[in-house]
Amino acid sequence: MPKKKGSLEIRRIMDDWQITLCIDVIGDVWYYGTELQLCAVR
């Protein structure tokens, strides 16, 4: 269980990092919800 929890923590951190990166690239938080999916595809 602890190992799986650790993996989830890492995934959450990576997701947060990717979201931050997408916001930086977009330069506009208002497009956060829509553009985020485009960033995920890249």
* 24 domain residue, yes or no: yes
* 10 domain residue, yes or no: no
Contact 20, 37 (CB under 8 A): no
- Lookup result for tokens 């990092």: 17
* 22 domain residue, yes or no: yes
* 1 domain residue, yes or no: no
**How much of the chain exceeds pLDDT 70, in percent?**
0
pLDDT band at 13 (very low <50, low <70, confident <90, very high): low
Q: Is the pLDDT of residue 3 over 60?
A: no
- Number of domains, the chain: 1
Q: Please give the mean pLDDT across all residues of the chain.
A: 58
* 40 domain residue, yes or no: yes
User: By 3-state DSSP, what share of the chain in percent is helix, strand and coil, each rounded to 5?
Assistant: 90, 0, 10
Tens-digit pLDDT profile for residues 27-39: 555 555 555 565 5
Give the residue numbers spanning the domain of 26.
16-42
Which pTM was predicted?
Answer: 0.26
Contact 16, 24 (CB under 8 A): no
Q: Is the pLDDT of residue 2 over 50?
A: no
